[in-house]
Structure 1
Amino acid sequence: MTITLTDAALYAGALFILFLTPGPVWVALIARAMSGGFHAAWPLALGVVVGDVIWPLVAVLGVTWIVSVFDGFMIALRWIACLMFLGMGWLIIRNRDATIATDSRLTRPGMWAGFMAGVVVILGNPKAILFYMGVLPGFFDLSLLTWPDIAAICFLSMIVPLLGNLVLARFVGQARQLLTSPEALRRTNVTAGILLIAVGLVIPFT
């Protein structure tokens, strides 16, 4: 493997910060947990895993091919990753009071319905691959990655959100208060935004 423990830890930390940012997965997970408990929510978390593995894999392979064709592409992508984190952090802070809407189609009862809801949530957003294409080069030199490196990246991309989603589903009562309290949502978004900006500032020096 060519990636270091420091690289992996920084990437895992960034994934965890992104998990803390409320979004469609949070909404669907909490809605299912509130309607059917943990039993109804964990299949959705497993469905999300599908996209959490596919998107980074596609991004790594796609960017690696681009790098093999265009010299200097890695340097450009590193700064793109930096700007993406700074921009995401600023937008979250700017919209710190915005609430999130839910979709009843994602809360249908049944384990299979929950699993497919997770797949739909994560694969139904084409911006995910653009995110990974912009972010991964900020943490790893994709031109040097081996298959064990790619497997490790996909594993981190899968396990960090999965553990977070399972814990969120287990403590859905507390999560419900977090989303329904405007002040708590504001504090969460401000904190997540600041942390994302911090990651963006660190990337150029790693």
Structure 2
Amino acid sequence: MEFSLTLLNIVAMFLAMVALAVVPDSSTITVVARSMSSGIKHALIIIAGIAAGDYIFIIIAIYGLASLAGTMGAYFEVIKYLAGGYLIVLGGLLWKSKPQQVELKDITEVSWLSNFLTGFFITLGDPKAIIFYMSFLNAFLDVKKATVFDTMTIMLLVTIVLFGVKLGYAYMGVKAKLLFDSQTAKQRINIFAGSVMMVTGFYLIIKI
């Protein structure tokens, strides 16, 4: 098995993913609502759908970047600067953003397939995610040397983080709703995650 990812990069990527995953978003709200209305098993299926959508974005990001690197040659460094700048801007916006009030609405009972597709299309419904993955992965992975095992490792990390964080919210149930309602808590989470994103962006620029 050949890897271009180092152990240090894997650990750093995992910690960054966790920090970003704790920010409550539409997928988190859906998972918690499903858990409260139908139980953990249904929430698990939604998370599986979310992960499947992320897998598609990861594959596009890694091999799309590899193709760009091969085509652009030395000019590919410009892409890295843009990616770093993009992460810094996103982090800054998250840092300054005002937490939005969210509501956990009742969800009609549906099949497991419907649950899976709900999670899947929540992910695919955000086209900015592919840009984020292209920027984020650039900080930890040399896409020109990326292997199948690197891709599988990243997918495994995403799976662990998604199921770990979102299941945590699902198990919290009502307590998670109280967290979503707390403007102070959400502001602190946004500042923390935004800081991680900005540090990742600066790291990407500095290491070029």
Q: TM-score, normalised by structure 2?
A: 0.88
Structure 1 contact 89–197 (Cα < 8 Å) conserved: yes
Say yes or no: does 1:150 pair with 2:154. Answer: no
Give the corresponding residue for 1:34. 36
Count of aligned pairs between the two proteins: 204
Return 47-56 or 193-202, whichever deviates more: 193-202
1:131-179 CA-to-partner distances (Å, cap 9, x unmatched) read 1122212211100112212221222233222221122211222211110
Give the corresponding residue for 1:16. 18
Give the corresponding residue for 2:182. 181
Structure 2 Cα separation of the partners of residues 150 and 190 of structure 1: 29
Give the corresponding residue for 2:52. 50
Structure 1 Cα separation of the partners of residues 103 and 92 of structure 2: 21
Give the corresponding residue for 1:109. 109
Structure 1 contact 89–193 (Cα < 8 Å) conserved: yes
- CA drift at 1:57: 0.7
Return 131-140 or 42-51, whichever deviates more: 131-140
Give the corresponding residue for 2:74. 72
Structure 1 Cα separation of the partners of residues 38 and 75 of structure 2: 48
Residue identity opposite 1:60 in structure 2: I
Structure 1 Cα separation of the partners of residues 158 and 132 of structure 2: 12
Structure 1 contact 40–109 (Cα < 8 Å) conserved: no
Structure 2 Cα separation of the partners of residues 22 and 177 of structure 1: 12
Structure 2 contact 53–123 (Cα < 8 Å) conserved: yes
Structure 2 contact 32–43 (Cα < 8 Å) conserved: yes
Q: How does 1:152-171 map to 2 (within 5 A)?
A: 152-171=153-172
Q: How does 1:181-200 map to 2 (within 5 A)?
A: 181-200=182-201
Gaps of 5+ in 2: none
Structure 2 contact 68–76 (Cα < 8 Å) conserved: no
Give the corresponding residue for 1:203. 204
Structure 1 Cα separation of the partners of residues 196 and 68 of structure 2: 30
Structure 1 Cα separation of the partners of residues 105 and 65 of structure 2: 33
RMSD over aligned CA atoms reads: 2.0
Q: Structure 1's 134 and 196: CA in aligned 2 closer, same or farther, altered over 3 A?
A: closer
Identity between Structure 1 and Structure 2 (%): 25
Q: How does 1:117-132 map to 2 (within 5 A)?
A: 117-132=118-133
Give the corresponding residue for 2:93. 91
Give the corresponding residue for 1:135. 136
- CA drift at 1:103: 7.8
1:34-71 CA-to-partner distances (Å, cap 9, x unmatched) read 22232331111111111121111111111111111111
Give the corresponding residue for 2:9. 7
Structure 1 Cα separation of the partners of residues 76 and 103 of structure 2: 37
Structure 1 contact 97–182 (Cα < 8 Å) conserved: yes
Give the corresponding residue for 1:63. 65
Q: Structure 1's 43 and 82: CA in aligned 2 closer, same or farther, altered over 3 A?
A: same
Q: Structure 1's 154 and 77: CA in aligned 2 closer, same or farther, altered over 3 A?
A: farther
